[in-house]
Amino acid sequence: MAIRCVYTDLDGTLLGRGGALLKDADGGFTLLGVRAVEACSRAGAEVVPVSGRRRDTTGEIARLLGQTAFAFELGCGVVVDGEETLLTGDLQPRDGRTVYELIAESGAPQLLLERYAGRLEYHTPWVEHREFTPLLRGLIATDEANALLSDNGHDGLRLVDNGAIAPKPSLPGLEAPPHAYHLMPKTASKAAAVEVHMRARGLFPRDCVAVGDSREDVGIAPLVGRFFLVANGAAKDPALATQPNVEVTEGRNGEGVYEAVVRSLAEARAA
């Protein structure tokens, strides 16, 4: 069967150092990410960015790639041909307040920041102007953090690990590079956003490939025919490579996306 759709994470996956499409993992110039999108276009496969970035920045990247569907803020919302679907459940914008503001008013972010003082902080400046998920950085156990949230009446929220980021001088003494964390409604996820898009397009798992670098990305693996974990994601979290339906690329970032796309298209034709 032909590949009809490729879901790709952006930072740490399609994008290289500094969030640049034309940079590789080391900051050198590359066209491999663009060539991956070109290969999909030639094969008639849609490319859908599925990102933790805000709606406006994810949408702009989708536009630059010539795509009309994308998921933003870790699946809190998905846009397909201009039609937006929010996946935040009962937690909806109201009275002029965003979901981000409602979560902040609940006290959940402050609970985490106080409990993990010195190990967790806001991910500035990228936390600014968000609509749905307070964005944090640090190094904590999400299972423990989510138990803390539940024990304090925040059952509708979860803290999600969206992968390792560069070390920050404001968090000295961490034993490993910090991670980015999203505090978000339990109903939302990248996998849920992918399901919405698949239904809208009438896609089956065999039609779809996904590429990512984090634990949240790997949550998409059960929904698609093939899931590729780029090499830098496997290096950061080796346990992800052992999950069902996960293949590890030799290349990092955009090079890994190109490898995943070309391999999938070639093997689909040969099947």
pLDDT tens track for 22-37: 999 999 999 999 999 9
- Reported in sequence order, the residue ranges of the chain that DSSP labels E, i.e. its strands, are 5-8, 46-49, 69-72, 77-80, 83-86, 120-122, 135-138, 157-164, 179-185, 208-212, 226-229, 246-248
* Whether residue 125 has a cis bond before it, omega within 30° of 0: yes
Distant-in-sequence contacts of 92-96, Cβ < 8 A, 24+ apart: 93/131
| 195-207 average pLDDT score | 98
Phi and psi at 155, nearest 5°, equal: -65, -25
Which pLDDT does position 133 carry in this prediction? 98
pTM above 0.75, yes or no: yes
Beta strands 179-185 and 135-138 are antiparallel
Which pLDDT does position 55 carry in this prediction? 97
The answer to whether residue 107 scores a pLDDT higher than 80 is: yes
Number of Cβ atoms within 10 Å of the Cβ of 171: 16
| 101-119 average pLDDT score | 98
Q: Specify the DSSP class assigned to residue 54.
A: -
Which pLDDT does position 1 carry in this prediction? 63
